Amino acid sequence: MSENTQNTSRYGGSLLKQSDRTRRRNAAEKRFRAYGIGAIGIGLLMLFVLVFNIVSKGTGAFQQTFVTLDVELLESKLDKNGNRDLADIKKVTTFGYSPIIRKAVETKVASLGIETNLKTKAMAGILSKDAAAQLREYVVANPDQIGETVEFRFLAQSRVDGYLKGRVIRANIANDKNISPEQLDLVDALVASGVIVKTFNLDFILGADASDARPEAAGIGVSMMGSLFMMLVVLALALPIGVAASIYLEEFAPQNWLTDIIEVNISNLAAVPSIVFGILGLAVFINYMHLPTSAPLVGGLVLTLMTLPTIIISTRASLKSVPPSIRAAALGVGASKMQSVFHHVLPLAAPGILTGTIIGLAQALGETAPLLLIGMVGFIASNPPSGIAEGLLSPNSAMPAQIFEWAKRADPAFYERAWGGIIILLIFLVTMNTVAVILRRRFERRW
C-alpha cells in the first residue's frame, strides 16, 4: 500500500540512526538540563558565599580577650568604717574602684618585670570600662572578701580585643585616642606571659547589651529573652486563634459570599508588609490601649497579627489534605460533625498544623520592621528578666532588633557582634525549620 511506504519513509528508515528532529529535541533537553544545573549552582554558590561571610565575620564575636589580675580589695577604699555594712559598701561607686584596679595592673606589670614608660592610668586603660563594675558587683555580693586578694578575669577593652583578633593594627592607630603603640607593646608582653588570653565568651550568648563605649561587654542574651517572650505570646495567641478560625472556615462555615470575603482577606493579610502591622500595633496597643512601649508583650501581639494568616493558611491546607472519606466514615458511624473533626480530622492534620506554626514562628522570630515602631529597636539596657510578668512588660529588645542596633553603631567591635548575633539567630531559624521538616517527614501519610 502506498500509505504504508509513506509512513516508513517519514521516520527515515533505520532506528539505529537519529533523525534530525530527534537530535534537535535531544539537544533542547540537554540545554534545559544545563540551565537547571546552572540555576542550582548559582543558588548554592550564593548560599556558600552567605554562610562563609557570616561565619568568617561572626565567629570572632564568640571569643573575647580577657586579662587575669590579682586584685587586693583594700578595706581603706571600699569600706572605710570597717563594719561591712552593705549600705556603706554600696555607697562606693565604680569610680572608687578605679584606683584598686590601677594598682592591680601596676603590681602585675612590675611583678612580671615588663619595662614600660606608661603611666598607671594608661596601663589600666587596656582593661574594659566594665572592669570596675564587675569588681563592684563582686564586692557587693561578697562583702566578707574585703581585705583579701582575689584573682579576677577582666574584659580587655575592645581595641585590645581587636588587636588580638587582627581588627586593630598598629599602622592605623595614630589618631585613635583609645589606644597607643605603647599600650600595644604592653599587651604583647602580657600576652607572652599569659596574662592576656583570648577565649570563648559565654557572656556574648547570655549577657545584656552594653553602651557605645563598652562593645566588649555586649551580649545578645537579654534580647534573646525578649524574643522568647514574644514567641510565647505569639504561640499562646496565634495557634489557638488560627486553628479555631481555620477549623471553622474549613469544616463548619457555609459556602457563601461572606466566607469568600473572609478567605480573600486572610490571603491578603498574609501579603501585607510587616511594617504596617507595626504601625497598627503602635496605634492600637500603645496609643489606644496604653500598653507599655518596648515591651515584648506588645511585640508579641504585633507578631501575632502577622503570623495569624500564615497559620490559618497552612492549617486550612492541612485540613483540606485529610481525605473526605475519613469524614464520611466518621459521620457514617454516627459521629457528630464536631466529633468527626476533633477525633479524626484534626489528629491527621496536626503535623501539618504544627509545621505551619513552626514556620510562622520562625518568620516572626526574624521580623524586625514592626518592632521599629513599637520601640523595641535601640539601646535598651536591661537585665535578664526575673519573671514572666517582667519578661513580658519590661522594656526589651529582640534578636533581629539587637543585630540591627549593633550594625548601626560606629565601633567596628559592634559590627563583629552583629555578625555573631546573626549566627545565633540563624541557628535558631535553621533548627526550627529542621524540626518542621522532620515533623512533616515523620508524620506524612499516604492514602
Partner 1 sequence: MNDMTVMDKTMEKQKTKIAANGVNVHYGESHAIKDVNVEIEDKTVTAFIGPSGCGKSTFLRCLNRMNDTIDICKVTGDILLDGEDIYDKRVDPVQLRAKVGMVFQKPNPFPKSIYDNVAYGPRIHGLAKNKAELDEIVEKSLRRGAIWDEVKDRLDKPGTGLSGGQQQRLCIARAVATEPEVLLMDEPCSALDPIATAQVEELIDELRSRYSVVIVTHSMQQAARVSQKTAFFHLGNLVEFGATGQIFTNPEDPRTESYITGRIG
Name the residue nearer to partner 1 (CB basis): 127 or 247. Answer: 247
Contact region with partner 1 (CB under 8 A), list: 3-11, 285-293, 341-349, 393-401 = 341-349
Q: Does 339 bind partner 1 (CB under 8 A)?
A: yes
Q: Does 336 bind partner 1 (CB under 8 A)?
A: yes
Contact region with partner 1 (CB under 8 A), list: 119-127, 233-241, 285-293, 328-336 = 328-336
Residue spans of alpha helices (H) in 271-343: 274-281, 296-320, 324-332, 337-339
Return the residues of window 265-324 that contact partner 1 according to CB under 8 A: 323
Residue selected from 2, 334, 386, 444 as contacting partner 1 according to rule CB under 8 A:
334
Distance of closest approach, residue 243 Cβ to partner 1, in angstroms: 20
Name the residue nearer to partner 1 (CB basis): 330 or 371. Answer: 330
In the chain, the amino acid numbered 200 is F
Count of residues interacting with partner 1 (CB under 8 A): 20
Residue 149's H or E segment, with its range, is: strand 149-155
Q: Does 258 bind partner 1 (CB under 8 A)?
A: no
Q: Does 332 bind partner 1 (CB under 8 A)?
A: yes
Distance of CA 437 to the CA centre of its chain: 20
Q: Does 80 bind partner 1 (CB under 8 A)?
A: no
Return the residues of window 218-257 that contact partner 1 according to CB under 8 A: 254-255
How far is it, in rounded angstroms, from Cα 249 to Cα 44?
40
Name the residue nearer to partner 1 (CB basis): 37 or 329. Answer: 329
Q: Which three cell numbers stand for residue 160?
A: 585590645
Helices and strands in the chain: count of H runs, count of E runs: 21, 3
Contact region with partner 1 (CB under 8 A), list: 192-200, 330-338, 358-366, 396-404 = 330-338
Distance of closest approach, residue 263 Cβ to partner 1, in angstroms: 15
Distance of closest approach, residue 333 Cβ to partner 1, in angstroms: 4
Cell 520601640, residue? Answer: 375
Q: Does 331 bind partner 1 (CB under 8 A)?
A: yes
Distance of closest approach, residue 332 Cβ to partner 1, in angstroms: 4
Closest CA to 234 of 382, 434, 375, 371: 371
Residue selected from 22, 325, 383, 431 as contacting partner 1 according to rule CB under 8 A:
325
374: helix, strand or coil: coil
For residue 294, is it left (φ>0), alpha (ψ between -120 and 50) or beta? left
Core vs surface per residue 171-201: b (16+ CB within 10 A) or e: eebeeeeebbeebbbbbebbbeeebbbbeeb
Name the residue nearer to partner 1 (CB basis): 199 or 321. Answer: 321
How far is it, in rounded angstroms, from Cα 7 to Cα 200?
78
Q: Does 348 bind partner 1 (CB under 8 A)?
A: yes
Question: Is 409:212 a contact under the CB 8 Å cutoff?
Answer: yes
Q: Does 344 bind partner 1 (CB under 8 A)?
A: yes
How far is it, in rounded angstroms, from Cα 330 to Cα 306?
35
Q: Which three cell numbers stand for residue 69?
A: 589580675
Distance of closest approach, residue 446 Cβ to partner 1, in angstroms: 9
Closest CA to 404 of 427, 421, 423: 421
In the chain, the amino acid numbered 257 is W
Closest CA to 322 of 305, 307, 303, 342: 342
Q: How many CA atoms lie within 13 A of 168 on its CB side?
A: 22
Name the residue nearer to partner 1 (CB basis): 287 or 325. Answer: 325
Which positions from 426 to 445 touch partner 1 by CB under 8 A, shown as an x/- string?
-------------------x
Name the residue nearer to partner 1 (CB basis): 290 or 445. Answer: 445
Residue selected from 16, 141, 333, 410 as contacting partner 1 according to rule CB under 8 A:
333
Interface ranges with partner 1 (CB under 8 A):
254-255, 323, 325-336, 339, 343-344, 348, 445
